[in-house]
């Protein structure tokens, strides 16, 4: 099962705001619909946002009536601008847009050739995501022992990607290898990606999962109930991992309890041009905190802070797993120093 698919000018995806109650598949025929779906978090999770953005540009190309390359390129640039304004933190969005744009700008041939090239590149981005995630799963699984209990936060699973997941790819791979593992999923307030999505997708796959609220992490760690933490990332910068709000607290608690804290993410999530100081942390609406679904749980008018992500300094990260392998802190620091991703060259 793919979370998103291209079907001849229609992008089909699951509406994640309706899960776990309903599996609603939505069809999008314009880039503005994709942008709106990302904004409203029907589509979410860094790698999936990237693939969706690529398909959004593919829709613009597919339905364009432009008669020449320059006009088509202008339309693509406009769509790219609209997509860039959806969510600011996950770098995969910007990575996918730039990948399509640079390919399109340097292409030769007529308008039809350019349309084709954009659509094919978008499909390639989506297909590569699946291959890359399987690799992450393969490497990540090496860190998981038979009998381990893994704590995860938010949803870094199949639903956050085109397929297979990142942090949950490691879990999935270990499970497929026959390791007897269990997962503890944090509910992940305010939007409950852990309760709604991680619990749902693991239960569907038959992988044992226990749900806890976010404020139970310290307790379960102190009772020896967690062997390892695996989370995903929205952006990995020179000095930190940026991921769903609450990740930083879990990392600090893991450090205090000597529990390995692993981050699993594709290279498309790495942003070595930035440090944590220059990344925009998305601030979302107050109603996400004051309401659970349609029920108000706080006094009307209360002042609210709602950052969607937080910043975990690299010192708390035991290793980063990507499609090229497992990066120790030393590997990571060397890569940052060299300014390029060059494996095994130390």
Give the residue numbers annotated as catalytic, written as ranges: 234
Q: Measured from the CB of residue 191, what is the shortest distance to ligand MRU in angstroms?
A: 7
Of residues 254 and 308, the one with the C-beta less far from ligand MRU: 308
Closest distance of CB 12 from ligand MRU, Å: 19
Q: Which of 251, 249, 269, 242 is nearest to 189 (CA)?
A: 249
CB of 231 to ligand MRU, least distance (A): 6
**Using CA atoms, how far apart are residues 188 and 211, in angstroms rounded to an integer?**
10
Q: Which residue has the tokens 């392998």?
A: 325
Nearest CB to ligand MRU, comparing residues 111 and 169: 169
Which C-beta is closer to ligand MRU: that of 187 or that of 234?
234
Binding site for ligand MRU (CB under 6 A): 44-47, 90, 154, 156, 160-161, 166, 193, 232-234, 243-244, 308
- Sign, CA dihedral 20-23-24-29, equals positive
Nearest-CB residue for ligand MRU = 232
CB of 72 to ligand MRU, least distance (A): 30
| H or E element at residue 60 | helix 46-63
Burial profile 248-260: b = 16 or more Cβ within 10 angstroms, e = fewer: bbbbebbeebebe
Distance (Å, rounded) from C-alpha 266 to C-alpha 275? Answer: 18
Cα–Cα distance, 4 to 11 (Å, whole number): 7
Pick 37 or 119: Cβ nearer ligand MRU: 37
Closest contact distance (angstroms) between CB of 236 and ligand MRU is 11
Instruction: Between 47 and 137, name the residue whose CB sits nearer to ligand MRU.
Output: 47
Residue 105 makes CB contacts below 8 A (sequence gap 6+) with 73
- Of 303, 274, 277, 280, nearest to 290 by C-alpha is 303
């Amino acid at each position: 099962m793919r979370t998103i698919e291209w079907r001849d000018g229609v992008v089909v995806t699951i509406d994640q705001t309706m899960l776990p109650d309903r599996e609603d598949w939505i069809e999008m025929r314009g880039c503005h619909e994709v942008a709106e779906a990302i904004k409203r978090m029907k589509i979410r999770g860094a790698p999936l946002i990237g693939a969706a953005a690529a398909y959004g540009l593919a829709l613009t190309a597919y339905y364009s009536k432009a008669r020449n390359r320059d006009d088509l390129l202008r339309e693509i640039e406009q769509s790219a601008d609209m997509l860039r304004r959806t969510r600011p933190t996950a770098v995969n969005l910007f990575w996918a847009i730039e990948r399509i744009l640079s390919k399109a700008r340097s292409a030769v041939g007529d308008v039809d050739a350019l349309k084709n090239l954009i659509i094919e590149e978008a499909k390639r981005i989506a297909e590569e995501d699946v291959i890359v995630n399987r690799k992450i799963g393969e490497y990540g699984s090496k860190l998981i022992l038979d009998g381990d209990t893994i704590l995860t936060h938010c949803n870094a699973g199949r639903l956050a990607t085109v397929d297979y997941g990142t942090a949950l790819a490691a879990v999935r791979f270990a499970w497929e290898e026959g390791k007897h593992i269990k997962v503890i999923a944090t509910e992940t307030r305010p939007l409950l990606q852990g309760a709604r999505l991680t619990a749902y997708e693991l239960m569907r796959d038959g992988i044992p999962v226990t749900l806890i609220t976010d404020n139970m992490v310290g307790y379960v760690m102190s009772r020896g109930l967690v062997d390892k933490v695996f989370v995903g990332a929205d952006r990995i910068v020179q000095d930190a991992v940026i991921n769903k709000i609450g990740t930083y607290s879990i990392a600090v608690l893991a450090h205090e309890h000597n529990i390995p804290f692993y981050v699993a993410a594709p290279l498309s999530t790495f942003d070595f041009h930035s440090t944590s100081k220059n990344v925009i942390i998305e601030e979302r609406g107050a109603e996400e905190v004051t309401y659970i679904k349609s029920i108000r749980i706080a006094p009307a008018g209360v002042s609210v802070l709602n950052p969607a992500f937080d910043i975990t300094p690299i010192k708390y990260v035991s290793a980063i797993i990507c499609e090229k392998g497992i990066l120790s802190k030393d590997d990571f620091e060397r890569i940052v120093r060299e300014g390029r991703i060059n494996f095994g060259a130390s």
